[in-house]
Amino acid sequence: MKKLLVLFGVWISSICSATANAADLSRGADNFYKSDKVSVQKVSFKNQYQMKIVGNLFIPKGMDKKAKNPAIVVGHPMGAVKEQSANLYAQKLAEQGFITLAIDQAFWGESEGKPRNAVAPDIYAESFSAAVDYLGTRPFVDRERIAALGICGSGSFVISAAKIDPRIKAVATVSMYDMGAANRNALNHSLTLEQRKQIIADAAAQRYVEFTGGEIKYTGGTDHVLNENTHPIQREFFDFYRTPRGEFTPKGSSRQLTTHPTLTSNVKFMNFYPFNDIETISPRPMLFITGSEAHSREFSEAAFKLAGQPKELFVVPGAGHVDLYDRVNLIPFDKLTSFYKQSLN
Does residue 125 sit in helix, strand or coil?
Answer: helix
- Domain hosting residue 192, numbered range: 2-343
Question: Domain count of the chain?
Answer: 1
Classify strands 168-174 and 141-151 as parallel, antiparallel or unpaired. parallel
More confident residue, 3 or 39: 39
Strands (E), 76-167: 99-103, 141-151
pTM of the model: 0.93
pLDDT number for residue 68: 96
Mean pLDDT check: name the lowest of 1-5, 48-52, 177-181.
1-5
- Any residues with CB less than 8 A from the CB of 235 and at least 6 apart, and which? 226
Phi, psi (degrees; rounded to nearest 5) at 100: -130, 150
Average pLDDT score over residue span 232-258: 93
CATH of the domain at 31: 3.40.50.1820
List, for residues 58-76, the tens digit of each pLDDT value. Answer: 999 999 989 999 999 999 9
Phi, psi (degrees; rounded to nearest 5) at 36: -95, 5
